[in-house]
A and B are shown apart, each in its own frame.
Chain A
Amino acid sequence: MTTDIGKFKHDSPMSGVLRMERMPHIWCPGCGIGSEVNAFAEAIKRSGIDHNKLVVVSGIGCTGRVAGYVDFDSIHTTHGRAIPVATGIKLANPELTVVVFSGEGDLVGIGGNHLIHAARRNMDIVVICNNNFTYGMTGGQVTPTTPTSAITSTTPYGNYEYPFSLPLLADAAGATYIARWTSVNVRNITQSMEEALVHKGFSFIEIISPCTTLYLRRNRLGDGVDMLQYYQENTVLKHGCDTRETAIDFQGKIVVGKFVDKAKPTYLEAVDKCAVRLVGDDYQLYGKTIPEREAEEKAEKERVAARRAVVLAAEQAASEKAAVKAVKKVATKAPVKKVAAKKPAAKKPAVKAAAKKASATAVARKSAVKVVAKKAPATAAAKKTRK
């Protein structure tokens, strides 16, 4: 049987959100970026946001390629400059929802100045930062977030620098929405993205994710699935955590959660306030008065909410249907199910291979990571070799 790739792409649930004509993508198997993009696509669908009013901007890097795959207005910029480009877009047309999706080297290394200033201004954009502790695209060099002692191609004897804690940095700079997850927390990522998309002001979402090919391999941390398991076992959920307590040590605990969610006038609101004081009530930006813009925004918000309600209702109906089916299945095929459930325990390696094949998302969703056989602790082994 041959597979009709064209039809497959067309029928994909991601069609309409991702540029299917550009698949396959460039990311390595097990790389966390893929599952983040899935979560993003899911968040966009659930948010009810008009796909025509959404812009995605990336810098340079493996994560920087995200802009090339999403089926919205999208700009792939230069290394570090995604945030100021996004700022220009948002200020040129305040009706747009502008999302920056890029890597930590891009956003916090070369582009760090833009990150803190956009946060300081409370620029109304969403910044999604894939933090894989490495410059993936260029072959795995040290970044401003690489934990001390980790091995990278430019810290072959272990990193001796102090890393940034990104939530603390964003918080200190003035971001008004800050969350951190690992790439195993797909549902939480999706939810945070949904919240950030409607949050008024500067939103920052950090996603700790595995660079399987470079960071994991160099530090002998196993493969993508091992890392997801590691995340699951080592994340500490602390909503509202003081961002001063979010530092990450090499293979230490990772504090995740929503740390900041507060209201503060955005940059454009501040501009409006100043201009109206000067010019009076007929002040216009690009030919529109403040009440006109507010009315448009309100109408759009209502449309978004209506679309979101439809999606959520459909989701609800589907899950109820699935629940009814499952109950029926259990009632009729209970004995068979038991046998099936036993199988994985008996055939661990087979299940492991299957779990590896499954996408990171699927793995996380089904919690299949728990079925994976425990390997010799990769961490300990890695630490030994490094000595």
Chain B
Amino acid sequence: MNTVSADPKGVDSGPHFMDGDQAIAEGALAAGCRFFAGYPITPSTETAERFAERAPEVGALFIQMEDELASIAALIGAAWGGRKAMTVTCGPGFSLMVENIGLAAMTETPLVIANVQRGGPSTGLPTLTAQQDMMQARYGSHGDYAIIAMSPDSPQECFDVAVEAFNLSEFYRVPVIILSDETVGHMHEKVVIPPADQIQVVPRNNYSGPKADFRPYKFDGQGGHPMTQCGDGYHFHITGLTHDERGYPVMTAEQSKIVITHLMEKIRSNADQIIRLDEDQIDGADVVVVSYGITSRIAVKAIQDARREGIKVGSLRLITIWPFCEKRIRELTGKVKAFVVPEINYGQMVLEVERCAAGKSKVISVNHCGGAVHDPEVILDAIRKANQ
């Protein structure tokens, strides 16, 4: 990935005390995001508010759209208009966005969406935490496509992940989803924003060769391909229809195979480059706790208590949710007695762990229906059970 130092205009360097939502806005600005379109919804609104407040001084544009359908659509327009663009929402708004997440995936449009999760289904628990949209983030839109999703566990990581989300989004030309949660979103902590020259960002990669050779797409299952922007004279065309490399509709089974294979493989075949995990004492562990977001911080207490009881327990924290770290789980499968998967949903990422463990290691789901974080005692019990 070709990177450059961040534009200092968007970087508010120094130590801050802010919540996770605000840190996402700061991370986006640092990464070069200059366009934000959104619609208010708890518990995500603070990101929009922060961006709106900062936009004039940074020279960015903020617009509150009429709904989330419009917000994601405006992002697609802005991305092809030449800007790095983002929006923020939670479940109900994300549900409205999914059709155009598909359009962004299909047209290979870089953009970032933060989903600060609250309890569902439907209006559910507007002000209370959850991690119930993990599968929706991956599979919400119809058809086969792939996205990248990351889950921060602190306001500091909200900042870091936001920068990374933009970088991945630009390189792979894919929507990247930040799966935060109400607790991380509303928790105030110290956030240190580095000086601009210590933040590496992937600049927009616009084509600059001869017009006759320009193609908006290259279906080789890889990232790193240039795009273009309106006004550069290439007269590009993009469509949500199945298309060829010129962007022109070709609606055949053969072309569908070419396009879908590319969309899937550019993420899957680069999973090793994309995935970030945070591991602790996994070597020699009998039990591995697989967690993410706020739940991993709750799990820390349970893991410490278990270790005090003499249980050899490691922690595998998913910073990257999608693509899922299949390879790492498969490596550990058979070596560990069991995986314990606490999450604030009825059991979503645990399905992925079970798939990769393929019956060769026990997998214990510690589910929770939202509205609060786990009681660490419940996770501790699961670790004890896993160790038997």
Contact = CB atoms under 8 A, between A and B. Distances in A.
Given A81-B70, A117-B70, A88 B59 contact: no
Interface string B33-65: 011010000000000000000011101110101
Contacts of A71: 235
B59 A284 contact: yes
Interface stretch (B14-22, B81-89, B320-328, B345-353): B81-89
B274 interface: no
Contacts of B78: 88-89, 91-92
B232 interface: yes
Contacts of A76: 237-241
A108 B74 CA distance: 18
B203 interface: no
Nearest to B239: A76
Nearest to B63: A91
Given A68-B248, A89-B77, A84 B70 contact: yes
A287 B9 CA distance: 10
Contacts of B219: none
Contact of A78 (B55, B57, B73, B83): B73
Contacts of A92: 35, 61, 77-83, 85, 230
Contacts of A85: 73-74, 76-77
Contacts of B74: 84-85, 87-88, 91
B81 A77 contact: no
A281 interface: no
B239 to A, nearest CB: 4
A88 B239 contact: no
Nearest to B111: A88
A84 B77 contact: yes
B52 to A, nearest CB: 11
A278 interface: yes
Nearest to B59: A284
Contacts of A81: 69-70, 73, 100, 103
Interface string A60-75: 0000000110011111
Interface in A72-105: 72-78, 80-81, 83-93, 95-96
A74 B237 contact: yes
Contact of A67 (B76, B100, B237): B237
Contact of B231 (A19, A84, A93, A271): A93
Interface string B221-253: 000000001111111111111000000110000
Given A77-B73, A88-B85, A93 B61 contact: no
B236 A22 contact: no
A138 interface: no
B interface, how many residues as a size bin? 35 or more
B220 to A, nearest CB: 23
A78 B99 contact: yes
Contacts of B59: 283-287
Main SS at interface, chain B: mixed
B51 to A, nearest CB: 14
A51 B237 CA distance: 14
Given A68-B249, A72-B235, A76-B237, A113 B70 contact: yes
A53 interface: yes
A285 B76 CA distance: 19
A80 to B, nearest CB: 8
B66 interface: yes
B75 A78 contact: no
A55 interface: yes
A360 interface: no
A275 interface: yes
Contacts of A287: 59
A88 B66 contact: no
Contact of A286 (B34, B69, B248): B34
A88 B67 contact: no
A307 to B, nearest CB: 16
Interface in B304-334: none
A279 B56 CA distance: 7
A114 interface: yes
Contacts of A51: 235
B248 A78 contact: no
Contact of B229 (A72, A93, A271, A284): A93
Contacts of B79: 88, 92
Contacts of A19: 237
Interface string B123-158: 000000000000000000000000000000000000
A88 B234 contact: no
B166 to A, nearest CB: 15
Given A19-B237, A279-B57, A88 B249 contact: no
Nearest to A117: B66
Contact of A68 (B71, B232, B233, B237): B237
A143 B103 CA distance: 24
Contacts of A93: 81-83, 229-231
Nearest to A88: B77
B35 A88 contact: yes
Contact of B69 (A84, A275, A279): A84
Contacts of A84: 37, 65, 69-71, 73-74, 77
Contact of B61 (A55, A74, A83, A285): A285
24 contacts: A53-B231, A55-B231, A68-B237, A73-B234, A74-B236, A74-B237, A77-B76, A77-B100, A77-B240, A78-B240, A80-B69, A84-B69, A84-B77, A85-B73, A87-B70, A87-B77, A88-B74, A89-B77, A91-B74, A93-B230, A96-B231, A283-B59, A285-B59, A285-B60
Given A80-B69, A85-B73, A95-B231, 13 more contacts: A52-B231, A68-B237, A73-B236, A78-B99, A81-B100, A88-B74, A88-B77, A89-B78, A92-B35, A93-B83, A117-B66, A285-B60, A286-B83
Interface of A: 19, 22, 51-53, 55, 57, 67-68, 71-78, 80-81, 83-93, 95-96, 113-114, 117, 271, 274-275, 278-279, 283-287
